[in-house]
Structure 1
Amino acid sequence: MINYPHLAQRLFNVPLAITPQKAEVVMAALADRFGLARLFHADGRVVALDGWDGDIGPAAQDKPYEVIAGVAVIPVSGTLVQKLGTLHPYSGMTGYDGIRANLSLALSDDSVRAIVLDIDSPGGEVAGCFDLADEIYNARGEKPIWSILTENAYSAAYALASATDRIIVPRTGGTGSVGVICMHVDMSKALGAAGLNVTIIHYGDKKANGSDVRPLSSEALADIQSDVDAMGELFVETVARNRQLSVRAVRNTQAGTFMGAAGVDIGFADAVMAPDAAFHALLAKLG
């Protein structure tokens, strides 16, 4: 049985580093499960509710990642979450906890000469993302760490990619979406229509700010926007540091996405190659 209340807690009223399009797809897919009739943008507009290319061989039996010619391949795919409790992508998600564990093991693995993050992800949770990005960034120099995109690295996934030594994107792949989004759901009218009245009893004027059982007040909106802005600036500053770009240049992208060579031009990627060609380029560099 799917735990919809748990999903709601992780999707609504919390900051996400995920592309708006992906957020809307997830919301639309689950809207009827949550009893949502309509979804709105912040400006009042209604939201319409309408693999690796090369031969990578078998995984080593005693390792949680595949090692090909001395290169550990760590998959980063689907929606990214703080804690998934597994070392591998599962049910369309990858956990920062699993990526961190695999990275640590690969760095200490004498049979591993280099590490590849095999990335195809629209992003995910802010929680845990930037701590992991810092760990990847601080590991530079221990072993070569490349991000080879098997299509896209957007938002939180791009935060991780930006921390690696090199980012290779395919012609139709994308980078960017350096921004944060938070979706508030207002269930008050739906509850009223169902004959349910919720009384919130709280201590502290702001304790119930952002509650999904009453409309979002202007004060609560301002507080949430302030938090989102702070996390957005952290994202911008992290990418600027990782990619040796100016903070202003990264901020001026306004969370835009860039396909293929456009990402190289903006400084968000280093080269355009098919994933298998990128892998062979890494092997050639290793000698």
Structure 2
Amino acid sequence: MRTLPHIAARVFNTPLLLDSAKAEVILAAVGDRLGVSSFTNIDGLTVPVRGPQMAIEDEGYLAADRETDSGYDVLKGIAKIDVFGTLVQKSGYLRPCSGMTGYDGIRQNYLQALDDSDVKAIAIDLNSPGGEVPGCFDLVDLMYETRGEKPVWAICNEYAYSAAYAIASACDYITVPRTGGVGSVGAVWIHMDFSKAIEDAGVKVTLVKYGDRKMEGNPYEAMSEPAKDRFQKSIDMVGELFVDTVARNRGLSTKKVRDTEAGCFLAAEGVELGLADSVMAPDAAFRALLKKIA
């Protein structure tokens, strides 16, 4: 059985800006391959390979005569940048691939769209539960600092949670369909303790290390309270950065954002809290943006 250490390194013992439901799906989907048999029951849970495409592509808006190798489509002067699935620091692709989108691709698409003379506005088409911390806030700050160069709308299709909401918050305007959602302004750190399973299996693990904090939080022994306190401080720092970023982007008080307690909110409630601007279906939101730049 392959334990897929490259996946484990991106899931465990690292801060994540990820909706809790998605975290549970990831643990269920990869748990057995990571040697965590208690997470193998995933009946009724499916992970989409790619998020749904915005209905506007079927309405004749696509500029068919435009030849480009860019990572976005230009539809009647609007660059549509897809942000679907789990968000990662680097995917190496300009478009969503294998259920994830890279901040590297979003950044390149966004900067290119700003410089593209055919683009009058940008629509960030979002359907994501969030993902990794590295790369997220740098991208969000870039989007915030370039506000005003061109209209940028976040069109939730269906939802933007955690890291995906951080991206949405940097846009000029956020729309969410009535069955969609926004929020999850928080962070999580997942630690797996295999020590009891290892003991039951009759295996003894010896860690030879230099420095008391070397291998802190490793999965072969129970986490100490001092180590847990240090991890909590790290995750608190990321959480506060997230709260401050959203408050700045949305013009809200940090208290109001913090008081959401990292909750996920359906459309109307998200608008009421100031996390979104309008309840609108994705195709209707796109037409509204078209009207704005007409």
Cα separation, 1, equivalents of 2:200 and 2:14: 26
Contact 2:87 2:131 in 1 (8 A): yes
Cα separation, 2, equivalents of 1:115 and 1:196: 56
| 2:30 is the counterpart of 1:30 | yes
User: Which residue number corresponds to residue 87 of structure 2?
Assistant: 80
The structural deviation recorded for 1:61 is: 3.0
User: Using a 3 Å threshold, how does the CA distance of structure 1 residues 144 and 3 change in structure 2: closer, same or farther?
Assistant: farther
User: Which residue number corresponds to residue 215 of structure 1?
Assistant: 222
| 2:108 is the counterpart of 1:101 | yes
Cα separation, 2, equivalents of 1:48 and 1:264: 36
AA aligned opposite 2:96: P
| 2:149 is the counterpart of 1:142 | yes
User: Which residue number corresponds to residue 61 of structure 1?
Assistant: 67
User: Using a 3 Å threshold, how does the CA distance of structure 1 residues 2 and 107 change in structure 2: closer, same or farther?
Assistant: farther
User: Which residue number corresponds to residue 48 of structure 2?
Assistant: none
| 2:288 is the counterpart of 1:281 | yes
| 2:20 is the counterpart of 1:20 | yes
SS class of match (1:175): strand
User: Which residue number corresponds to residue 47 of structure 2?
Assistant: none
Cα separation, 2, equivalents of 1:227 and 1:72: 37
Q: Equivalent residues in 2 for 1:1-287 (5 A)?
A: 4-38=4-38, 51-54=53-56, 55=58, 56-57=61-62, 60-62=66-68, 63-287=70-294
User: Which residue number corresponds to residue 43 of structure 1?
Assistant: none
What TM-score, normalized by structure 2, do the two folds share? 0.91
The structural deviation recorded for 1:192 is: 3.0
Deviations 1:90-125 (A, max 9, x none): 100000000000001101111100111000000000
User: Using a 3 Å threshold, how does the CA distance of structure 1 residues 53 and 99 change in structure 2: closer, same or farther?
Assistant: same
Aligned length: 280
AA aligned opposite 2:206: T
SS class of match (1:206): coil
The structural deviation recorded for 1:197 is: 2.0
Cα separation, 2, equivalents of 1:73 and 1:37: 41
Q: Which runs of 5+ in 2 are unaligned?
A: 44-52
The structural deviation recorded for 1:37 is: 3.6
User: Using a 3 Å threshold, how does the CA distance of structure 1 residues 197 and 49 change in structure 2: closer, same or farther?
Assistant: farther
User: Using a 3 Å threshold, how does the CA distance of structure 1 residues 49 and 216 change in structure 2: closer, same or farther?
Assistant: farther
AA aligned opposite 1:162: S
SS class of match (1:74): strand
Cα separation, 1, equivalents of 2:2 and 2:116: 38
Spell out structure 1 runs of 4+ moving beyond 6 A.
Answer: none
AA aligned opposite 1:13: N
Please say which of residues 247-256 and 199-208 is displaced more in the overlay.
199-208
Cα separation, 1, equivalents of 2:10 and 2:35: 17
AA aligned opposite 1:184: H
Deviations 1:46-74 (A, max 9, x none): x9866212225366431321000010000
Contact 2:3 2:33 in 1 (8 A): no
Cα separation, 1, equivalents of 2:118 and 2:63: 15
Cα separation, 1, equivalents of 2:241 and 2:89: 17
Deviations 1:158-196 (A, max 9, x none): 000000100010000100000001110112223333443
Cα separation, 2, equivalents of 1:92 and 1:218: 36
Cα separation, 2, equivalents of 1:261 and 1:2: 45
Cα separation, 2, equivalents of 1:134 and 1:126: 13
Cα separation, 2, equivalents of 1:286 and 1:27: 44
What TM-score, normalized by structure 1, do the two folds share? 0.93
Cα separation, 2, equivalents of 1:61 and 1:197: 61
Q: Provide the aligned C-alpha RMSD in A.
A: 1.8
SS class of match (2:142): helix
